[in-house]
Amino acid sequence: MTLKSVNVLSVVNSKSKISTQIIDGKEHIVINDVVPIVDDIVMNGIFYPADEINKSYMTLNDNLMPLDHPRINNEHVSALNPQAINNFYIGAWGRNVRKSNDRVLMDAYIDRKFAESTEKGRMLVNRLDDMMSGKNTTPIHVSTGLTYTPDNQSGTSKGKRYKSIARNMKFDHVAILPDKQGAATPDDGVGIFVNSNGEKSPIENVSLVECSEDSISNVISKTIKEVLSVFKFNQKEEEDLMKEKILLALNAAGIKTDGLSDEQLLKAYNEQTAKEAIEKQKTSEEEEKKKAEQDKKNATNAEDAPAWAKTLMNKVSSLELAVNANTEKELSVKREAVKSKFNMTQTAVNALSGEPLDALYAQCVKTAPISGGFANNSDNSLLNMEAPE
């Protein structure tokens, strides 16, 4: 079968994954968790199965990482080509190749002094320094160069159709592309790849970035629909329950509810609640007055009490104040939530306490907005990976 070559585009977009390390007495910039490829992905109609990746991914270990894909006479060549080393190597290579779930991971090491000795290397070091300092957060693309033998079988993987399977993969290099912007496939991947033996094969570009965006979009869309469906159901259920409680309260107060619209029922309920609140307020004021008189009497008695009794009373009073403060705070939180949920007046909601307040507050808590957890798909990885159909 014909040997084919492909450049797999991915992106470094997390400054937290970039650090420095001393190796052989020299400072190196380290980029952790570069993702050159993932299991069972379909890119440009080509299926990259997990079993084939498992047999080949270790060929990434200690591979050179040139700045851009090496070219000689406008033809792509292996990174091990002597001319390619002279013109594109900037002191970078890959190490610690490993699998994590369905992803292949590797770490990139760049010899700072070696890189700064070349014009291209200085440009890369400056970009990485800017990323670490936060001056320039534009992602840096990396593109994995590999060869494979096409197996013309069709099928579906992860919801995507493919027309061929990649077999016998071999990784040649991982190019660093600091001057490429956006998620588009770079133009310099198009053409013919010449391996170290001088053999030529067609080359194509694919992108993990675009592939991942399609998958994320589908997941987000599906999740939003499910969340909205559940929220609408809960909302309808709670509205019916609240209406039933309003009817019971009005009927208990002797107010006729037949023929009233939902707005009229709510208005009547608010008016009745306000009326009850006023009456309760009057009762409360009378109780406070009695309490004030009793406190005054107790204060007088306290003056005549012995020292040990005064100390004990002070401690009891402090404890009562703390308990009352917590109770009032809890009441305030519940009343504010009920007021907002059911559009009640301040007077009406102030009248609520005990079981009626707890029942209405429980409805506020139960129908709190459902939040979906959408992360930025970083999951401690440097790369957002995708590829076009």
Task: Write the CA distances from 164 to 39, 40, 57, 367, integer angstroms.
Answer: 15, 12, 20, 50
Do residues 149 and 1 lie in contact, with contact meaning Cβ atoms separated by under 8 Å?
A: yes
Q: Which of 217, 171, 204, 189 is nearest to 36 (CA)?
A: 171
Q: Tell me: the pLDDT tens digits for 166-214?
A: 999 888 888 888 876 422 333 333 333 445 555 555 556 666 665 554 4
Do residues 336 and 365 lie in contact, with contact meaning Cβ atoms separated by under 8 Å?
A: no
Q: Which of 196, 202, 197, 205 is nearest to 85 (CA)?
A: 196
Q: Which of 88, 79, 92, 99 is nearest to 36 (CA)?
A: 99
Share of the chain above pLDDT 90, in %: 24
Looking at the structure, do residues 252 and 182 belong to the same domain, yes or no? no
Q: Tell me: the pLDDT tens digits for 135-148?
A: 887 778 888 888 88
Q: What are phi and psi of 12, to 5 degrees?
A: -95, 115
Looking at the structure, do residues 210 and 226 belong to the same domain, yes or no? no
pLDDT band of residue 270 (cuts 50, 70, 90) is: confident
- Ranges assigned E (strand) in 35-163: 41-43, 46-48, 71-72, 75-77, 92-100, 103-111, 140-151, 155-157, 160-162
pLDDT at residue number 1: 39
Tally of residues, the chain: 389
Q: Tell me: the pLDDT tens digits for 275-314?
A: 887 888 788 788 888 888 887 777 666 566 677 666 766 7
In a domain, 331, yes or no: yes
Looking at the structure, do residues 251 and 138 belong to the same domain, yes or no? no
In a domain, 376, yes or no: no
Q: At what angle do helices 354-366 and 307-342 cross, to 10 degrees?
A: 50
Looking at the structure, do residues 240 and 307 belong to the same domain, yes or no? yes
Domain boundary among 188, 216, 244: 216
In a domain, 372, yes or no: no
Looking at the structure, do residues 25 and 166 belong to the same domain, yes or no? yes
User: How far is Cα of residue 380 from the mean position of the Cα atoms in its chain?
Assistant: 11
pLDDT at residue number 237: 65
Q: Indicate the number of domains in the chain.
A: 2
Looking at the chain, list the stretches that DSSP marks H as alpha helix, in order from N- to C-terminal side.
50-56, 82-88, 112-116, 119-133, 208-252, 262-303, 307-342, 346-350, 354-366
Q: At what angle do helices 262-303 and 307-342 cross, to 10 degrees?
A: 170
In a domain, 166, yes or no: yes
Looking at the structure, do residues 188 and 315 belong to the same domain, yes or no? no
Looking at the structure, do residues 119 and 179 belong to the same domain, yes or no? yes
Mean pLDDT of 266-272: 83
Q: How far apart are CA 297 and CA 289, in angstroms?
A: 12
Looking at the structure, do residues 87 and 159 belong to the same domain, yes or no? yes
In a domain, 174, yes or no: yes
Looking at the structure, do residues 62 and 195 belong to the same domain, yes or no? yes
pLDDT at residue number 236: 64
Between 94 and 340, the more confident residue is: 94
pLDDT at residue number 304: 62
Looking at the structure, do residues 84 and 233 belong to the same domain, yes or no? no
Could you count the other beta carbons within 10 Å of the beta carbon of residue 126? Answer: 15
pTM greater than 0.85 (yes/no): no
Looking at the structure, do residues 204 and 260 belong to the same domain, yes or no? no
Task: Write the CA distances from 101 to 14, 58, 98, 147, integer angstroms.
Answer: 20, 15, 10, 23
In a domain, 271, yes or no: yes
In a domain, 172, yes or no: yes
pLDDT at residue number 331: 83
Domain boundary among 200, 216, 232: 216
Domain boundary among 163, 186, 216: 216
In a domain, 371, yes or no: no
> Whole domain around residue 72: which residue ranges?
4-216
Looking at the structure, do residues 203 and 258 belong to the same domain, yes or no? no
